Amino acid sequence: MSEFSDSYHLRTDDTAKGRALLRRAGLEGYIHPAAQGWVSICPEGMPFEPNTQLIDANTGVLVHYVFGEHHAWGCEIYQGPELITRHEVSWDPELAVLHTLSPSAFDAVAQTTLAQLPQEDLQRLLHPTTLEDIHTFKPASVFAQAIGLPHYAWRAFDYLWREQELGQPLPDGAQLVSKLIKIHAALA
């Protein structure tokens, strides 16, 4: 089975802020406990598309990470609901860099050191020229590790939901955050 990952990462050491973001957005989703300055979130919604409900409810620094093993990878960083920079590379059917990330803009918002990667690695990350760059260098993983994302591989709402439905334990302390349903009843 090919990996398809679609997750969001809130820049915080407070897991409760990830839970609060899902609730403000009115979404169900899975969160991982804060680690390395990130709370990983897998919200319900259309995979591989920006989740506008989550983004519109965001008040912090939020990274959207996507990876389709045989297709593409990309990321976006938001400060509040504002898109700061994004990156997208597709190799289905041909290798193409569709959007190029600004490492300095990313680092300024996320407080990371992506721009300090060795120049050769940064070039392969942002401008792969061959499929070998994709399959051996693995730019999506290099990116995630460079910014310290703890939970990104094989992370998506559908994967976690399926594991839970099959009675399997959720990975790495992930927890389901259910939608809050407001019921208004007129009592006679």
For the purposes of burial, counting CB atoms within 10 Å of the CB of 70, is it exposed (0-12), middle (13-18) or buried (19 or more)? exposed
pLDDT at 1: 79
Virtual torsion, Cα 28, 51, 35, 75, nearest 10 deg: 160
Structure tokens given for 134: 């994709």
Residue 181: predicted pLDDT = 53
Could you identify the residue written with the tokens 């897998």? 42
Do the Cβ atoms of 91 and 139 come closer than 8 Å?
Answer: no
Nearest to 33 by CA among 10, 56, 64: 10
- State the sign of the Cα–Cα–Cα–Cα dihedral 74, 110, 37, 175: negative
pLDDT on residue 180: 62
Q: Measure the CA dihedral 126/128/133/139, to 10°.
A: 20
User: Given this model, what pLDDT does residue 183 score?
Assistant: 47
CA 17 – CA 164 distance, rounded (Å): 23
pLDDT tens for the chain, residues 1 to 188:
799 999 999 999 999 999 999 999 999 999 999 999 999 999 999 999 999 999 999 999 999 999 999 999 999 999 999 999 999 999 999 999 999 999 999 999 999 999 999 999 999 999 999 998 899 999 999 999 999 999 999 999 999 999 999 999 999 999 999 986 544 444 44
Task: Report H helices in the chain.
Answer: 15-25, 52-57, 103-110, 119-126, 131-132, 139-146, 157-165
What DSSP line would sit under 116-146, residue for residue?
Answer: GS-HHHHHHHHS--SHHIIIII-HHHHHHHH
Q: How far apart are CA 53 and CA 104, in angstroms?
A: 27
Whether the Cβ atoms of residue 122 and residue 115 lie closer than 8 Å to each other: yes
